[in-house]
Structure 1
Amino acid sequence: MGFVGGVFGIGNRTDRRRRVCPGMKGTGPGNGFESVESGVKLDEIVSSFKSMVELRDRSYMLKMYQNCFVGSDAVDTLIEKGFVTNRKDAVTVCQMMLTEGIFHHVLREHQFKDAKLFYQFTEGHGEKLVREGSKVSWSDFIKPETMEIDDSLQPAMPVSSETPEITQDLPQTDLNISGQLYPLDEYNLRLLDNTHPSAWQDPQNKRKYQMLVIGGGTGGLVAAAGSAGVGARVAMIEKNLLGGDCLNFGCVPSKALISAAKRYHAVTNDQSLSEFGISVEGAKIDFGKVMERLRRLRADISVNDSAERFASKLGVDVYLGEAKFIDKNTVEVNGQKLTFAKCTIATGGAPRLPDLSGIKELFEAYHRKEPEAPTIVTNESIFNLTELPKRFAVIGNGAVGMELAQSMTRFGSEVTVFGRSRRIMGKEDADIAKILEDRMTSEGTTFQLSVEKYVSLKKTGVKNGSFMEMEMEVVLEGGEPKTFVIDTLLVAAGRTPNVSSLDLENAGVKYDRKEGIIVSDGLETSTKGIFAVGDCCSAYKFTHVADFMARLVVRNALFFGKDKFSRLIIPWCTYTEPEIAHVGLYEKDISEKGEVVTVQKNFADNDRAILDGETEGFVRIHTLKGSDKILGASIVGANAGDLISELTLAMNADYGLGSVASVIHPYPTRADAIRASGDLLNKNRLTPTVRTILRQVLKLQN
């Protein structure tokens, strides 16, 4: 799109939610700034401006400047007289007049600023002046004002409708089965050697640690490495596998599985291939080799999280065992009492079983490896599979469930997803979730999302290959009972924080069985000097969030920092196809603060997406009326997880959406849809008053 059309053109104004309301007020008799249609001359605008500002002699640093006005006073006057509604637009108007030589800074050293700087009118302002100082960008003329909002740009995270309530009277089932890896081939043995070596000898340290870390997942590893890196004496305790969920049962193995499923789908999707003039015959999937590759890559990556690396290269004392608090400065592990000045709890969370009769007994039988037990898995055991089940069921409709359901469908399983909420991906916008649901349905996934009650799960006694068949009875909406026959059940229905076995009461650390450890905005617990990070204390259960929580704790605990978790701008992505990525607030969160302005750029209008044949999805960005500050954004489409980082960077740098339009992208790229979103905001930004001034400025160029 050309400059005039892209930046100054008139957009579609039929959707009030997406209308950008101008900062400059409409025109009226006698206010001097007339509408575009009135054809007011720039001389008249300048004359009105001159009559408003206070001109007098002013002194600075023992030097007198004659007949000056003050920049901030001029801004105040424009707002008081009703010419503009905000200070940013006032600065825009003044800057254009300065640029055209109507007035200038007394020393010719400054552009116009909303500050106590002195400016003088130039006689014969219609004559062009030599402009000094930095060149002014056109984007400076159309940036809207950033309005006051709450510090935090973190949305409320919904609770899974599948997760049962936890009470203090309910004994917590230990679902942390991270020590059970199958098969024990060379790759899983190498993984164990790195993350929980059987011959590991705990240090014998009598000194007080400056930082003691409980938990060796992402949050614990970063806290330990960061603390040791700045010279602190550090101990880290892990009772299961170093690397935690991310390495062993989450990000790493799941993305290996997704990658294989995506490639297989790409060569077997006849309809998509035919559009490119391609046909492939005879493609087959070897699920055993898919899982072998997964185990090999996981073992390769595990070196980074290994006990040996943290002990010998990073200088961390690594203890492999279960930690229990003795008091607020002492923890016991494997019979040793370790004292500390500061402590970080990073024990993570564990999957939880839904309220379904028979599931607990069958689940425990499978994980005891009883020969006739049916296959009931969580994210902590699904990657032990070596054969593809024919009938695969999922309880849970969040990110984990959708990623694995789509992959298993693409490998050839008959997949059914069960849920209570009548939709998938509860935290995402409904239309975005529907795009993914429709794609998965078209690929063969079946959804049963109106479950009113899970009734029972039991064996049938029939063996289907190496899988023992099960019957799951549910009650659907309207009271309709229905039985489904399945070979494997994946439970992806929420998680429980790992807090019950730490004896936190001895340290005075307050916690909730369902929500986890209670922390302040600085991530400190109820006991001074003890902090918590990651899934054990946060609703944002993402690897990258645990990482940055740990970085925050290192600063706050060791260097008297005052960083706040609420100020972290948190993106995330669900790695389905299409991917769904989000950062910041959702529209429903922003609407509580004021009128939402939303711009959306469809990938159907993006040249790279068209050429790649991947036009599904869009970029959606939210601001408040009168501001271009990015408060939230969602992207659905190919590579959304990579694209969202550009908007996250803009939000971190407080770089407004109007300015994103000035970022040059290579052509053609999907990321250009983000720049184009800035254009959509900017082209509606110009008010009649500003258009009048721009037209008159252009006339002066002749």
Structure 2
Amino acid sequence: MEFDYDLFVIGGGSGGVRAARLTALGGQRVALAEESRMGGTCVIRGCVPKKLMVFASEYPGAIQQATQYGWDAQVGAFDWTAFKDHLNSELSRLEGAYEGNAEKAGVEIFKQRAKVADAHTVELADGTRKTAKHILIAVGGRPSRPDMPGADLGLVSDDLFDLPQLPKKMLIVGAGYIGCEFACVFNGLGVDVQMFIRKAQILRGFDDEARGHVADCMQQRGVTLHTGCAPTAIEKRGDRIWVKGSNGHEDEFDALLWATGRTPNTAGLGLEDVGVKLNRRGAIEVDEYGQTAVPSIYALGDVIGRVELTPVAIREAIAFHETVFKGNRTKMDYDLIPSATFTQPEMGTVGLTEEQAEEQEPTLVYATAFRPMQSAFAGGAERVLFKMLVSKDTDKVLGVHIVGPSAAEMIQFVAVALKMGATKADFDRTCAVHPAMAEEMVTMKDPVRVLA
């Protein structure tokens, strides 16, 4: 059978675009459909605009610190409109780059919604049907709202980059990395931020000591945490939103943000009708090569619900291309994936948490917390945390967690060492860079505790 394309990609995010470009550059006929903006969650509604907001929110602290270094400086007013206009211009530039690079590679782009009609056919929103030898689903996910009265009064993360004005007082419900990052951002921009947290601590799934350190720092910086608390009632009162929590706390806010998880964008794609299986969350079930229950249909990125990070989607795209179009069956390697949470302070992590290591094997815990030189000189009390988990039997480093300035930058290179199988002895015999925070990675000599 002759197909219109060798590959049809549904979804123009980082993973879908990478797969499309690689395949087109290899001489295959490739098309891609995207109903929204090229670049997907990361470029348009996630990592990139969020990180630019993080940068913007850090300047007041930097300016205040500068005064302690002798500079005659003061924090003026923040012009949200000017920042937002510049932000939108930058996102448009990046969107153009994504689209342009794909087209230069030979990818035909359809700017409309697409769904799967059968194992080899895609139907576009205008009714046009296209056939392809292989179909790749890379549609990502979207923020979810709880099912309760008044939930529609709240925002989701997609809405935050185009607010008409900054709220004076804000409630964030949910304490995963998205909720915590935006709590720090808006706090830094001068907003009174409170958080409702269903559990006893923020950042579930991260190392307990590290996330506790982040929580303490967030509170010291002015974020109010209501733990063991979920909203039980929400009402519109004038131009404000009244919320009551399960712990009895109630207050009125200018904005309510739901940061209560994300949902795969699989609804209405016709996947189950053609035999593609979804799990209970609506994520696409794939094997270790990204292949669905329908052999010609593959999926990657957030829509498969494995590790929802942009670099992971890109690596999955590379593995897909190697497997399907280069005859080199390649599994995605999910081991020792580094990640960063852009809270204030940042947290970088790679490998096992202390809790995971304790379950796995006898472990030596090395940790240190101290005031870094730059902020200590300016009278700052906030401490950074360096933590390393080491196998007692093999000396292999099982995990590293860093909380403090530039944690993301540091954890990237620590991850290289762990991926190579570094031992604690390897770190010990590496000469330190002085004076630098990162020297603590090679100067921690004695464990603070031993996990049997």
1:345 pairs with 2:137 = yes
Secondary structure (helix, strand or coil) at the match of 1:484 reads strand
Following superposition of structure 1 onto structure 2, how do residues 283-294 of structure 1 map, counting pairs within 5 Å? 283-294=76-87
- The answer to whether the Cα contact below 8 Å between 1:392 and 1:489 also exists between their aligned partners in 2 is yes
Aligned equivalents of 1:630 and 1:459: distance in 2?
52
Seen in structure 2, the aligned counterparts of structure 1 residues 643 and 215 have a Cα distance that, compared at 3 Å, is: same
Judge which range, 293-302 or 415-424, deviates more: 293-302
Aligned residue for 2:19, secondary structure, equals helix
1:474 correspondence with 2:266 = no
Q: Which residue of 1 aligns with 2:112?
A: 321
TM-aligned CA deviation for residue 603 of structure 1:
4.6
1:353, 1:491 within 8 Å by CA — same for their partners in 2? yes
Matching of residue 562 in structure 1 with residue 329 in structure 2: yes
Give the structure 1 partner of residue 46 of structure 2.
250
- TM-score (structure 1 length as normaliser): 0.60
User: Once the two structures are superposed, what CA deviation does each residue of 1:65-106 show, in whole Å capped at 9, x if it has no partner?
Assistant: xxxxxxxxxxxxxxxxxxxxxxxxxxxxxxxxxxxxxxxxxx
Q: Which moved more, 1:327-336 or 1:664-673?
A: 664-673
Counterpart-to-counterpart distance in 1, 2:292 and 2:220? 48
The answer to whether the aligner puts 1:517 opposite 2:284 as a matched pair is: yes
Q: Please give the per-residue CA displacement for 1:319-341, whole angstroms capped at 9, x wherever unaligned.
A: 12222212112111132222222
Amino acid at match of 2:231: Y
Q: Percent identity over the alignment?
A: 28
Higher strand share: 2
Q: For residue 594 of structure 1, what is the amino acid of its counterpart? A: E
CA distance in 2, matches of 1:613, 1:504: 58
1:232 to 25, 28, 31: 28
Contact 1:499/1:513 (<8 A) preserved? no
Question: Pairwise mapping of residues 256-335 of structure 1 onto structure 2 (< 5 A)?
Answer: 256-267=52-63, 269=64, 272=65, 275-278=68-71, 280-281=73-74, 283-306=76-99, 308-311=100-103, 313-333=104-124, 334-335=126-127
Contact 2:207 2:355 in 1 (8 A): no
User: Which of residues 186, 192, 202 in structure 2 aligns to 1:408?
Assistant: 186
TM-score by length of 2: 0.91
2:84 aligned partner, one-letter code: M
1:487 aligns with 2:279: no
Deviation at 1:652, TM superposition (A): 2.1
- 1:485 Cα deviation after fit: 0.5
Between Structure 1 and Structure 2, how many residues are aligned?
445
Q: How far apart are residue 608 of structure 1 and its match?
A: 7.3
Which residues of 2 match residues 152-171 of structure 1 at below 5 A?
none
The one-letter code of the counterpart of 2:93 is: D
Structure 1 pair 488/550, CA: closer, same or farther in 2 (3 Å)? same
Shift in Å, 1:397: 0.8
CA 1:600/1:241 → structure 2, altered by over 3 Å: closer, same or farther? same
* Distance 1:248-1:602 versus aligned 2 partners, 3 A rule: same
Say whether the 8 Å CA contact 1:328–1:507 is kept in structure 2. yes
Structure 1 residues 23-52: Cα deviation after superposition (integer angstroms, max 9, x where no partner): xxxxxxxxxxxxxxxxxxxxxxxxxxxxxx
Query: What's the secondary structure of 2:209's corresponding residue?
Result: helix
Out of 407, 423, 432, the residue aligned to residue 210 of structure 2 is 432
Residue 358 (structure 1) aligned with residue 150 (structure 2): yes
CA distance in 2, matches of 1:383, 1:277: 35
Q: Deviations over 1:650-694 (max 9, x none)?
A: 1222233322334445433332222224x558xx9xxxxxxxxxx
How far apart are 1:292 and its partner, in Å?
2.3
Greater RCO, CA 8 A, separation 6+: 1
Counterpart contact for 2:5–2:131, Cα < 8 Å? yes
Which residue is equivalent to 2:159? 381
Say which one has the larger Rg: 1
Change in 2 beyond 3 A, CA 1:282/1:673 = closer
Alignment correspondent of 2:5 = 209
Unaligned runs of 5+ residues in structure 1 are 1-205, 363-375, 462-467, 685-702
Residues 48-59 of structure 1: matches in 2 within 5 Å? Answer: none
User: Match of 1:293, as an amino acid?
Assistant: H
2:251 paired with 1:455: no
SS in 2 for 1:246: helix
Tell me how far 1:442 sits from its aligned partner.
Answer: 2.0
- The amino acid across from 2:411 in the alignment is I
Q: 1:536 aligns with which of 303, 306, 324?
A: 303
TM-aligned CA distance change 1:603 to 1:225, over 3 Å: farther
